[in-house]
Amino acid sequence: MDKTIVTSTAVLLEAIYFAATAHGSQSRKGNGGEPYINHLIEVVILLSTVGKVTDTDTLIAAVLHDSLEDTSVTAADILDKFGEQVLLYIEALTDDKTLSLSERRAMQLAHIATACQQVKLIKLGDHISNIGSLPTSWDKGRLEDYIAWSYKVAKACFTSSSELAYEYEHRYKQALYDITLLVK
């Protein structure tokens, strides 16, 4: 057996465990409050199965993409365990939580336009997962606002993978339909 494949698989599994530990008892806003790690695993699955991504650093960064933003994990932790390239991808995906929501959304749109393909792949996978798991507690205006913004971000990433773009479009259309049923 190829030791590179075993090593890559082992490191990816280590990253999944690391993310599960870091995100601990966090839960999703949508999908009935399922464990947050499910979202991170779904992003990796989307990238690897739909997007045909095989680069280990990209998949590791995908499972850790919210670690700096939403946990006590530090850049030094990621650098030490997973290396500089993974850290660079994660930093490119991390929001500055000191900014308002509208400022963070504007920054994401500005940054994604010039991001590398790997960052765009992860961002697109993230938005595919998110658009398929919208919180039912949000009012119609908030849902519509999120969906419109998400589409702008995702569309800026469509050139990274036509397969992931297609999956996003499918879930986007379903989300638009679903909010007409959920919110009167």
8 A C-beta contact, residue 164 and residue 51: yes
Catalytic pick from 42, 55, 57, 69? Answer: 69
159: left (phi over 0), alpha (psi -120 to 50) or beta: alpha
- Closest to 130 in 3D by CA, of 97, 98, 157, 103: 157
- Closest to 105 in 3D by CA, of 123, 80, 118: 123
Q: Which helix (H) or strand (E) holds 45?
A: helix 36-45
8 A C-beta contact, residue 43 and residue 65: yes
Q: Which helix (H) or strand (E) holds 10?
A: helix 3-23
Is 70 considered catalytic here?
yes
Catalytic pick from 14, 70, 95, 145? Answer: 70
Active site residues: 69-70
